[in-house]
Structure 1
């Protein structure tokens, strides 16, 4: 079970979007080298205001490229990095992964999935009406967050577009992802 890296992105300054790169380097326990959200403790501004000592469970943000196709059908144009993700994947049901799943990226890098991204109003600032596209409802009416998943870096390494992504499910009961 796996897929591929479609794009990688990072930004050293606070900005909603992140420019695509030829490669990014993941650093164990910190995140993406040079990215504004890298660190042991939280870096997201609203979380820092609440409690700057919280552990950073959002070191690397992933979005599945298939989401861009879905929102395109609704009239929105979104490209890799434009929703602030670090890694855009293809061929993996990221939202269906259980908490604790490990993703092997390329030859060395490994991340552990911590939870779902909490889509914020900045998404509508990027394109009006887009937030409604990335927060949907399941058949039973439950809210479904589709703006990607968050992870922490277990093993560092360089990640490039075209790298394989191997999925390693955790042992024991599979816990569904929640907002982190």
Structure 2
């Protein structure tokens, strides 16, 4: 990381290659067209490299954790900026299967499948509900932060989250009913 502070292009390339898959997964929760998501990831990495001097890590033993949180926030903010520019129109598309490959091989295959299924259900939500769900549930933003980032009221953020949860519950209930019918 020290090389990135002095704009060493080799270090930047290594950092980019190491975290590209993670960054794409973060962005893809907001932007569903693969080509657009890769553009957003690249834009976010440009922001990261330009503002690398702002990254602070007082605890060296937690460097990776702090770095990934900082990077994740920039990825999310860049994706939200893109959604705002495109009036939060729903994105359509999918990721190639290699994107879902887990770098930590200790993660169970079932967890990977469940994650893909959840993201597929979240993709079916209206854009405003999807944004609130992703930001609050998955990325840990407060309703106040969501309100400020999306230019909506706190009440609208809470309402959108409640409606997203209800729709996801309905999607899952429907899937369970279909599974019960198929098992008869």
Q: Same fold (TM over 0.5)?
A: no
Structure with the larger RCO, 1 or 2 (CA within 8 Å, 6+ apart)? 1
Larger helix fraction of residues:
2
Task: Mark the structure with the bigger radius of gyration.
Answer: 2
Larger strand fraction of residues:
1
Q: TM-score, normalised by structure 2?
A: 0.25
Q: TM-score, normalised by structure 1?
A: 0.26
